Chain A
Amino acid sequence: MIMDEVKEEFVKELLKNNKRSDGRGLLEYRPIKIEKGLLPNAEGSCLAQIGDTKVLAGVKFDVVEPYKDRPAEGVFQVNAEFLPLAHPEFFAGPPDERSIELARVVDRGIRSADCVDSKKLFLEEGKALGIYVDLYIMDHSGNLIDTAGLAAMGALLDTKVPKYEAKALIRGEFSGKLHLERSAVVCSFEKIDGKIVLDANDEEEVASEGRLSFATCDGDLLCAAQKSGRSAFSREEFSAIMDASLEKGRELRKLIGG
């Protein structure tokens, strides 16, 4: 608690002069690193790093029964695990509201942009492909959502579709790369003492009163959003954040090779 208050004061003091502890501009990302295809057993994988934050995404396929209301479509699902090794305040146990929110925001961005055409996942009567993206939070130094968004999209870009024969998947043999209609990424902004910063580090997240995240996709469209935390946002702040999300989103999509 005391350390949090010290960090908070430090961050706010710097922001008064539009400065950040690592010398970045207010709307600047930390260095980003993307490594695809690290895990050959997964159908797709990607390790995304923003600064010291690391998120690993793995993609697996299964044959599933389509949902009753969408009988000719496959299933797409994103899950997140906040691993205890990633942060002193992460503990083993069922997913809490933070990990559910993160997974659902990343899921919404990719789903709303129709990145994966779920109709193409249909196999035959009563059978479809299920794509499962699991996000492993490995090292938490702030801005998990954007890092997880990059990892998920990077892993999908790396994904190969397993062969389907005699009502079963043949593991290790592929029919080709997963076709993606477009790619989507998330940009998150924290509000600290009335200032808006992109890609907050962990100190800044402690000082933050609220977050606004926008997912953007090809065609310069906004495809998902989430306001979180107790702070409110004005119309002007919304407008500025949407502009920055569209601009930074283009850069991120270029970076992951979408």
Chain B
Amino acid sequence: MEKPVLIRNGKRNDGRGVMDLRPLKITAGVLKKADGSAMIEWGKNKILAAVYGPREAFPKHMANPNRANVNCKYSMAPFSSLEEHGRSGPNRRAIEIGKVAKHVFENAILTNQFPKTQIDISIEVLQSDGGTRIAGITAAAVALADAGIPMRDLVQGVSVGKVDGVLVVDVDKPEDNYGTSDIPVIVSLRSNEILLFQLDGMLSKKEVETALDYSFETAKTVRELQIEALKNKYVLEESGA
């Protein structure tokens, strides 16, 4: 398949500039049973995140006397991509993403407040459009806040890619398919630290530093929308009463 031109006159295939995010909407508390939940619609991504816990650790021998265990399941629905029907069950990619997402929340959650328990996070991708892990983790952070679980920070991220030789934020599906680099990043704006970082594609150190600058800068917008989603939930409840 021939690679299409992805950047023309400084504009990307969907008209965005290099630092522009796709349309982003977050809704908190979308599920009844879960202790916390959120739906994120980011570009054409539609991802549901839910949290159960803290609850008693299972199996019991896995209980940690010092902190809560965090479990995180990331999965893509078999109907979630434009291409063929996906196989159900976690594949190797999903297992790896679940692992690095778990590490994000092992850091963000004040796990030492809940010894011998576990917190279960599910990220279900219903429709994928590039950048699903970042969108899913951003939604999961809102779900955790919705569940009232204390955290060091409300975390979020923006992925950066290299497309037609240019670094751009919030890579969509065509850019992901034909770009030469993909760098998913989750940050804590409060501590200025990086909680998730993966990279593929050949980049200089300077390019990686620029990618991190871009992620930190654009994460601010994502954070505002997360906070707004959490506030909106309570506005709605009050008006409905």
Binding site for B on A (CB under 8 A): 69-70, 95, 97, 100-101, 103-104, 108, 111-114, 210, 212, 214, 217, 219-235, 238-239, 242-243, 246
**A114 to B: closest C-beta gap in Å:** 8
Given contacts A222-B199, A222-B204, 16 further A-B contacts (CB under 8 A): A97-B96, A100-B95, A100-B99, A103-B92, A114-B202, A217-B202, A223-B199, A224-B200, A225-B197, A226-B198, A227-B100, A227-B196, A230-B106, A238-B194, A239-B209, A243-B205
> Which chain B residue lies CB-closest to A218?
B202
With beta carbons under 8 angstroms apart, the residue of B100, B188, B202 that contacts A226 is: B100
Complex contact A112–B202 (CB within 8 A): yes
A173 to chain B, nearest CB (A): 33
Smallest CB–CB gap between B96 and chain A, Å? 5
Convert B48-84 into 0s and 1s, putting 1 for each residue whose CB lies closer than 8 angstroms to a CB of A: 0000000000000000000000000000000000010
> Chain A residue with minimal CB distance to B199?
A225
Q: Which chain B residues border A220 with CB–CB below 8 Å?
A: 204
Q: Once bound together, how far apart are the Cα atoms of A83 and B40, in whole Å?
A: 40
CB distance from A53 to the nearest CB of B (A): 21
| Main SS at interface, chain B | mixed
**Chain A residues within 8 Å of B209, by CB:** 238-239
B103 within 8 A of A: yes
Q: By the criterion CB–CB under 8 Å, are B198 and A100 in contact?
A: no
- A233–B95 contact, CB under 8 A? no
Q: Give a binary string over B101-116; 1 marks a CB under 8 Å from any A CB, 0 the rest.
A: 0010011000000000
Kindly list chain B residues whose C-beta atoms are within 8 Å of the C-beta of A221: 202-204
| B109, closest chain A residue (CB) | A230
Q: How far is the CB of B178 from chain A (nearest CB, A)?
A: 11
6 contacts between A and B (CB under 8 A): A69-B83, A100-B99, A221-B203, A232-B193, A233-B194, A238-B209
Q: What separation, in Å, do the CA atoms of A112 and B183 have in the docked complex?
A: 12
B143 at the interface (CB under 8 A from A): no
- By a CB distance below 8 angstroms, the chain A residues around B192 are 234-235
Pairwise interchain contact A101-B202, C-beta atoms closer than 8 A: no
Instruction: Bits for B165-194, please: 1 = Cβ < 8 Å to A, else 0.
Output: 000000000000000010100001001111
Say which residue of B96, B98, B201 sits within 8 Å of A223 (CB atoms). Answer: B201
Residues of chain A with a CB closer than 8 A to B191's CB: 232
A234 to B1: give the CA distance in the assembly, Å.
40
Q: Is the CB of B202 within 8 A of A223?
A: yes
B145 within 8 A of A: no
Instruction: List residues of chain A with CB within 8 A of the CB of B99.
Output: 97, 100-101, 228
Which A residues are in CB contact (< 8 Å) with B199?
112, 214, 222-226
A95, A103, A233, A246: the one contacting B197 at CB < 8 Å is: A233
Complex-state Cα separation, A2 to B110, whole angstroms: 23
Bound CA–CA A228/B97 (angstroms): 11
Specify which of A104, A210, A234 lies most central, judged by the most chain B CB atoms within 10 Å of its CB: A104
- The smallest beta-carbon distance between B4 and chain A, in angstroms, is 14
| CB within 8 Å of A: which B88-136 residues | 92-93, 95-96, 98-100, 103, 106-107
Does B151 touch A at the CB level, under 8 Å?
no
Residues A104 and B205 in contact, CB atoms below 8 Å apart:
no
User: What is the CB-to-nearest-CB distance from A206 to chain B, in angstroms, rounded to a whole number?
Assistant: 14
Bound together, the chains give a CA A243 to CA B107 distance in angstroms of 25
